[in-house]
Structure 1
Amino acid sequence: MLHACSRPANRLLDAYKAQIIVFGTEVDLTLYHPDQAVINQAIATINADFQAFHHEWHAWEKGGIISKINQAIAAGQTIQIADSIRAFIEKSQRLSAASDYLFDPGIGQLIALWGFHGDLWQGPPPSALQISEWLSQRPSIKDITFDDRQQLHCSNRQVQLDFGGNAKGLALDLALQSLQAAKIEHALVSIGGDMKALGNKPQEHAWQVAIQNPQQPQNVIASLPLYGGESVVTSGTYQRFYQWQGQRYSHILNPNTGYPADGFASVTVLHADATTADSAATALLIAGPQNWRRIAQQMGIEMAFCIRHSGTFEQTKAMEKRLKLI
């Protein structure tokens, strides 16, 4: 669903705003350009691209490419895929390896066991035996290979791809490419609060991004200037969860234990590449207080802000110089 543009304008200093409902969340676009026809066409293009992207990349959307790949893997069959799909899978494999496979899009079956494949998140959680059986197979994206004929192979039938951990980052990167192709020089795209900037906000040096307080998501805990070409992504255990018999279960799962991650309440990562930022935010949250700095270094992350459940926080030196606590 696309909400119409607001504040039509004739000057570059006025913003055009639009909202798209896709990926199960709100996509907010803030665009600057002197020609409203150019803006309208760019928004329509992004809307169409995002709706198609959601269908193709949704892990349990029947008929999409990820669903077809998962069906082929489960049947022990190979499947022909496009160059762009292979490129993203291989990029995700590199990011997964750098994270010591804490970020791993091959764990779709585990996500389904926990009840997070669907629009309603609800219990009961899987039994210890179910988790143990899944861990004994330890499906991973690293089990996937390709041949010279662009055929995808998988050595583990238990692998089920779910790119919920970094597909929104890819969507952000693609949206910025689309805007650049439309000759738009200043814009901010937000997918459920994850953002990427194109150019700077006119008359200002940077876009200002607010970071939520995990204990009180309606309140802001910090602000962060975002410059052109940068993206910022937050992964949080407070965003998607369910309660079962008095216990709260987050959708962010540790592939090495089979259980929800609980080391941090949220992790915010700033990086030029939104796909990398998205993957790293998940990985650092799972890594927790003991290991996040090592994983950040391995993934090439210089700016990260991690909030514990107690409300205390840790951050990189580069992020400390950029972020302003409120």
Structure 2
Amino acid sequence: MTSFSFRPLPIFKGLSFFLLLLVLSSCSQPSYEKVQQTFYVFGTEVQVEIVDTPKDKAQHAIQTIEARFQKFNRDWHAWEPGGIIAKINTAISQQKPIEVQESIKAFILKSKKLAAESDYLFDPGIGQLVNLWGFHSEDWHGPPPSQKVIQQWLTSRPSIKNIHFKGNRLISDNPNVQLDFGGNAKGLALDIAIHSLKSVGIQNAIVNIGGDMRIIGSKNPNRHQAWRIGIQNPKHPGQILAAIQIQGDESIVTSGSYQRYFEWKGKRYSHIINPNTGYPADHFISVTVIHKDATTADAAATALMIAGPKHWQKIAQQMQITEAFMVDDNQKTYVTPDMAKRMQLINEDSD
């Protein structure tokens, strides 16, 4: 296993840091064809851009992705009645086996592998804990669960490692397991979308789900021009802190404590929960990961958020993540050497 050390970047001052990935627009108008469409799903804005493809073909491909995303959202939402995950969770709580499709089995097994590599910091089996904190709905208001309730959950410690298969029949040896794939479902959706585009011969495109992206090909294939992705300070929307050029086939995903949270008696509680403590992670406030596979990038960003400054390097190595950028609660930044080589600091504000 290759080891690496982090290279600290200068602290960006005054951030109240909010990492948002966006496509930086070019000053000049492109001379090549592009088709772009925006729609709303997964509780966020989804943008698909396709270049160097006939307009009708591109529009049909985007419509196909939107339809798949809407169905995906219904099926994979942990708390959506009638969805496959809700059915699985009901079967687990009743200690009954349930037959699942091969594609669902494959994703759960992949998630089990990612969870093990993360030392179960990323763990889709903690849906019950997510529910205790109130993050199963869009109404996050507190109060936090009591220490007694959290300790009861920790005593049982349900985990995705409790899930097993006999053929395509899913069973769990812990009735308190409740699957919630909020930590990597958007990554899976990105991978599905890109596979859909590739299957019809589209070679140059970007799919953006609320700032999480997977990109294939080039922004301008004639010039081999990469997409330029920016890391933005939301307090100053025109200020870009750093930029990264991406082309070929890569994903770039951000996990942040700013995305979903509630405040209670002056303290902020994030939706990213440490399964080892039962409480929200409170060290890193944002993690950005680049990886070929969006499902892996999504899971790793969640795991590194929870690992924090002391343990992120170990988790990154185990998950084979070589490109990551992190910001802690003191606004100190951490970056892997491979990521540092690609990042261009745009607006550096050092001490």
TM-score between both structures, scaled by the size of structure 1: 0.94
TM-fit CA distance, 1:221: 2.1
Which is bigger in relative contact order (C-alpha 8 A, separation at least 6)?
A: 2
Shift, 1:198, TM fit: 1.1
Determine if the alignment matches structure 1 residue 21 to structure 2 residue 40.
Answer: yes
Whole-angstrom distance in 1 between the partners of 2:314 and 2:234: 24
Equivalent position SS for 1:230: strand
Say if 2:190 and 2:209, in contact at 8 Å, map to a contact too: yes
**2:53–2:202 Cα contact (<8 Å) kept:** no
Letter in 1 for 2:204: H
Distance 1:37 1:215 in 2: 39
Indicate which of 79, 90, 111 corresponds to 2:98. 79
Contact 1:236 1:266 in 2 (8 A): yes
Letter in 1 for 2:226: A
CA gap 1:297/1:58 in 2 versus in 1, 3 angstroms: same
Look up the equivalent residue of 2:334 and give its one-letter code. E
Deviations 1:186-210 (A, max 9, x none): 1010001000101011135311111
Aligned residues: 315
Asked if the contact 2:34–2:53 (Cα under 8 Å) also holds between the matched residues in 1, the reply is no
Matched, 1:193 2:194: no
Report the CA distance shift for 1:217/1:293 in structure 2 as closer, same or farther (over 3 A).
farther
Residue equivalent to 1:271: 291
1:167 aligned partner: 185
Q: Deviations over 1:84-103 (max 9, x none)?
A: 00000000000000000000
| Alpha-carbon distance between aligned partners in 2 of 1:217 and 1:269, rounded to the nearest angstrom | 22
Deviation at 1:32, TM superposition (A): 1.0
Q: Over residues 221-257 of structure 1, what are the superposed CA-to-partner deviations in whole Å (9 max), with x where a residue is unaligned?
A: 2111112210000000011111111111100000000
Please report the RMSD computed on the Cα atoms of aligned residues, expressed in angstroms.
1.5
Q: Tell me the residue number matched to 2:138.
A: 119
Q: Is the 8 A contact 1:12 1:32 kept in 2?
A: no
Residue 95 and residue 74 in structure 1: after superposition, are their counterparts in 2 closer, same or farther (change >3 A)? same
- Equivalent of residue 258 in structure 2, options 204, 213, 238: 238
Greater CA drift, 91-100 or 202-211: 202-211
For 1:16, the aligned partner's letter is: V
CA distance 1:214–1:101, change in 2 (3 Å): farther
Asked if residue 249 in structure 1 is aligned to residue 230 in structure 2, the reply is no
Specify whether residues 160 and 214 from structure 1 end up closer, same or farther in structure 2 by C-alpha distance, changes over 3 A only: farther
Structure 2 regions of 5+ residues with no counterpart? 1-29, 347-351
**Distance in 2 (alpha carbons) for counterparts of 1:171 and 1:190:** 10
SS at match of 1:265: strand
> Which residue of the other structure, out of 106, 109, 131, is the alignment partner of 1:90?
109
Instruction: Answer whether contact 1:209 1:226 (CA < 8 A) is retained.
Output: yes
Q: Please list the CA deviations of residues 133-185 of structure 1 after superposition, one character each: whole Å capped at 9, or x if unmatched.
A: 0000000000000003x100100010000000000000000100111112111
In structure 2, what is the equivalent of residue 47 of structure 1?
66
SS of 1:121's equivalent in the other structure is coil
In the other structure, the counterpart of 1:5 is none
- TM-score, length-scaled by structure 2: 0.87
AA at the equivalent of 1:224: I
Matches within 5 A, 1:1-326: 13-148=32-167, 150-202=168-220, 203-213=223-233, 219-326=239-346
- 2:147 and 2:53 map into 1 onto residues whose CA distance is 59
Structure 1 contact 187–199 (Cα < 8 Å) conserved: yes
Provide the C-alpha distance between the structure 2 equivalents of 1:135 and 1:214, rounded to a whole number of angstroms: 36
Aligned in 2, Cα 1:12/1:88: closer, same or farther, shift over 3 Å?
A: farther
Q: Distance in 1 between matches of 2:113 and 2:322?
A: 18
More displaced stretch, 208-217 vs 279-288: 208-217
C-alpha contact (below 8 Å) 1:33/1:39 kept by paired residues: no
Higher mean alpha-carbon deviation, 316-325 vs 213-222, is at 213-222
Identity, % of aligned pairs? 54
CA distance in 2, matches of 1:218, 1:127: 42
Question: CA, structure 1 residues 212+19, in 2 after alignment: closer, same or farther (shift >3 Å)?
Answer: same
